[in-house]
Structure 1
Amino acid sequence: MAVAGGTYGSKGFNLRPFKVELSSGLPRMFDLVKNTELPAHEEYPGVGSSFGIGLDVLKSLKKEWLTNFDWQKAQASMNRYEQYTVEIEGLTIHFVHEKSKDPHAIPIILQHGWPGSFLEMVPIIDPLKSQAKTSTGKPISFNVVVPSLPGHAFSSAPPANWTVEDTARVFNTLMTKVLGYGTYAVHGTDWGSATAYSMYDQFNQSARAAHLNFLPYFPLLPEALVAQNISLSPEEEFEEQRLVDWETNGNAYLVEQTTKPNTIGLAIYDSPLGQLSWIAEKYIAWSDPRQGTGPSLLTHNEILTEVSLYYLTRSIVSSMYIYAQNPNGFMTTYHKARTDAPLLFSSFKYNVGFWPQQLVARVGNLVKYTYHSFGGHFPGLDNPPALTADIREIGNYWEH
């Protein structure tokens, strides 16, 4: 099968079509969910979500999992997309590859984070591959590639000292040598922003545009912003306070997964309800509080689908190791990427990380910075129309 820029399935990579089929694990998963006992009542009523996921929320999710959740429907929805596995540097990499009908479509690789999966990007696949126009009227469409990060879902766990730079190298091989694209664009969020930014920096002849909604740099707290003479608008002050709240009360998971991933990972490895408690708290806390109302698609069903994928693929421990393997994966010293390729950035009001325009401009050739008053850490689910529109703006700066 031919693709723009080369031949699909270069020799030596064992490229194979892939379908999701995890139904055999359902009986055990649902038995465990049903038979895992939760406390009858809150030990400390009135604390709400300030100390983690609320018991009432977890009970509601458990009930919905057992009564209304349809894995077969979710699995069929995943299998609407062309999926493959490929072997690169000893790893099995799973990816979606959906092509536009436009012969001039821009290849783009969309990269998720934790505790997400390739499913984070599914709502924007069809809109991106469809023919549309940028804000200036330029025609735009994409050939969309969505990989699973190593150790996540259907991609195999990497070796012990694997870094985001290693993943960037493998993903560049996927785009250039497996799929045959001479040049491509990148998008990333959370850990996916680290791999996408590394591709933008390392492989600057092939990665010729980047769109991010998260940076692989620790954001600055208020006193550091003041020290650097960076002033904020009222909207930005709100985003900065979200960051302060996360730094104060929301980052214990990061310390645990960076230092002791086995402890928490093995504790919940065979506990779907444990994984639900650990993961759902992040989805709820890090997203726009209007989740589930337009344009947000982030309902309990999406959370249950993500957690089911983690449990059924037995990937919770290996997914956490990205933190331990990259203790400096989010950098503290800002530096400019070694590229002149355009960088576009989207800031969503309820994200837990906030970078004002002045900081983003330090790390790349920033050509567009967009603020959205709706959305959070998972914009592919939180506000897919806005994320789609922002990624399309790459077309205004793309040079073949």
Structure 2
Amino acid sequence: MRVSWAKLLALSYIYEASQGSPVQVRNEYQLQPFHIDLSSRVPRMLDQIKGTQLPAQPVYINTGTSAGISLSLLESFRTEWLTSFDWNREQEDLNKFNHYTAVIEGLKVHFIHETSKAKDAIPLLLVHGWPGSFLEFAPVINELTKEATTTTGKKVSFDVVVASIPGFAFSSAPPVNWTVADTARVFNTLLTNVLCYDTYATFGTDWGSGIAYSMYYQFNTTVRALSLDFLPFHPYTSDQLAAENITLSSLEEFEQAEATEWNNSGEGYFVEQTTKANTIGLALYDNPVGQLAWIGEKFVNWSDPNAGQSPSVLTHNQILRSVSLYYLTECFASSVVLYQQNPNGFASVYTKANTDAPLLYSAFKYNVGFWPPAVVAKTGNLVLYTNHESGGHFPGLDNPPALLEDLREIATYWS
């Protein structure tokens, strides 16, 4: 049963009645609408971008794209940022969503809440990772609220909640020693106590997979379905797969090879942010071009090579929008601390959640991590595993139609 949280918000402004018993409903979580307005910070960002000098030969040694983002690509991004990107236009577009903030355990938590017109809509929490944000789900939010059908013909729509992880975007930075389990607890409070949903489903990607899985693990009476495209466990090596007699299809062999290569050459940032988060956080805090190089490289290298071509909507403008949000909300330094505070956030030892709630998994060909069905099944009640020939680490941008279709399948197993 769902209680109208909007009605509760309205009641929170009722004060003592003039006659009879006092009537006072406190807005315990300080729930209020939120409007994005970062325009006053844009001139400084543009000045910083203009004032940043990039190297030229012979200072710059071009060692190829395997060493990170290329100078030519960074220059192209920088030119687009200064000439055609318009934050005010992006901000206007983002404000079409219903944004809110609530204070939970002393933290201001920012979230989008878009409801369906259907009475039996399934509450669905979407959780981003790094270097993502609520932006990576923007292409699918409204579509998820519309009534559609599953592959079995069952009607489905969602009440969609997209929350910003503490330390990201408009959510306040968490205290020291804050873990993904803490964020899971806060997000569960958001769904159950603030928005008054008795049960809900959740989807997580990247670090969001760890948060969503922790919710699935900790709160098995309220989390009644989990969908993931990433696991908070280290992927199996090829030797481990062979030891367990797990055979792979040709697509899975490609994905395993990609994940192995990323593990060998793509985790330098992970080591830096896990061990020296303050160094990189402070070095790039007031450097938009530096943040573009650091974050943009991940968007480019972790995505489908055909990024920006249908079904992908991951254009340069989308990447600039994400980097601008990081810079304008001044959250880069607090976002990377997530790694330092969760050094074991991706575990070597697999655990299985004690729940009968269904687990659905979506694999995308160019994601940086790969887990075949037999491995995913070690973590929960796996009921559906779907593997896609396109898409990468940011499915809401890399392949929105596939993510939509997979999330809608939650309804097939929802009860």
TM-score bracket, normalised by the shorter chain, equals over 0.9
Rounded Cα–Cα distance in structure 1 between residues aligned with 2:275 and 2:56? 33
In structure 1, what residue type is equivalent to 2:156?
A: I
Aligned partner of 2:285 in structure 1 is 269
Q: How does 1:312-331 map to 2 (within 5 A)?
A: 312-331=328-347
Shift of 1:232: 1.1
Identity of aligned residues (%): 58
Answer with 1 or 2: which has the greater Rg. 2
| 2:278 matches 1:280 | no
In structure 2, what residue type is equivalent to 1:232?
A: L
Select between 217-226 and 183-192 the one with higher mean Cα deviation: 217-226
Rounded Cα–Cα distance in structure 2 between residues aligned with 1:172 and 1:77? 28
Say which SS state the counterpart of residue 110 (structure 1) adopts: strand
> Is the alpha carbon distance of 1:251 and 1:42 closer, same or farther for their aligned partners in structure 2, counting shifts above 3 Å?
farther
> Is the alpha carbon distance of 1:34 and 1:124 closer, same or farther for their aligned partners in structure 2, counting shifts above 3 Å?
same
Q: What's the CA shift string for 1:318-373, capped at 9, x where partnerless?
A: 00011011001111111211110000000000000000000001100000000000
In structure 2, what residue type is equivalent to 1:345?
A: Y
Rounded Cα–Cα distance in structure 2 between residues aligned with 1:121 and 1:48? 32
Q: What's the CA shift string for 1:45-98, capped at 9, x where partnerless?
A: 663311000000000000000001011111011100000000000100000000
Shift of 1:136: 0.4
**Structure 1 spans left out of the alignment, 5+ residues:** none
2:250 maps to which of 202, 219, 234: 234
TM-score normalised by the chain length of structure 2 = 0.94
> Is the alpha carbon distance of 1:339 and 1:29 closer, same or farther for their aligned partners in structure 2, counting shifts above 3 Å?
same
| 2:403 matches 1:387 | yes
Aligned partner of 1:105 in structure 2 is 121
Say which SS state the counterpart of residue 409 (structure 2) adopts: helix
Rounded Cα–Cα distance in structure 1 between residues aligned with 2:40 and 2:411? 43
2:89 maps to which of 73, 84, 94: 73
Q: Confirm or deny: 8 A CA contact 1:375 1:382 kept in the other structure.
A: yes
> Is the alpha carbon distance of 1:35 and 1:361 closer, same or farther for their aligned partners in structure 2, counting shifts above 3 Å?
same
Rounded Cα–Cα distance in structure 2 between residues aligned with 1:281 and 1:85? 31
Shift of 1:17: 0.4
1:4 maps to which of 2, 11, 18: 2
Shift of 1:143: 0.1
Shift of 1:6: 4.7
Q: What's the CA shift string for 1:167-215, capped at 9, x where partnerless?
A: 0000000000000000000000000010101111100000000110001
Rounded Cα–Cα distance in structure 2 between residues aligned with 1:340 and 1:6? 28
Shift of 1:230: 1.3
Aligned partner of 1:173 in structure 2 is 189
TM-score normalised by the chain length of structure 1 = 0.97
1:25 maps to which of 22, 31, 41: 41
| 2:356 matches 1:358 | no
Q: How does 1:171-210 map to 2 (within 5 A)?
A: 171-210=187-226
Shift of 1:257: 0.3
**Structure 2 spans left out of the alignment, 5+ residues:** 10-25
Q: Confirm or deny: 8 A CA contact 1:42 1:55 kept in the other structure.
A: no
> Is the alpha carbon distance of 1:281 and 1:42 closer, same or farther for their aligned partners in structure 2, counting shifts above 3 Å?
farther
Say which SS state the counterpart of residue 46 (structure 2) adopts: helix
Shift of 1:42: 7.1
Q: Confirm or deny: 8 A CA contact 1:41 1:55 kept in the other structure.
A: no
Shift of 1:315: 0.2
Say which SS state the counterpart of residue 217 (structure 2) adopts: helix
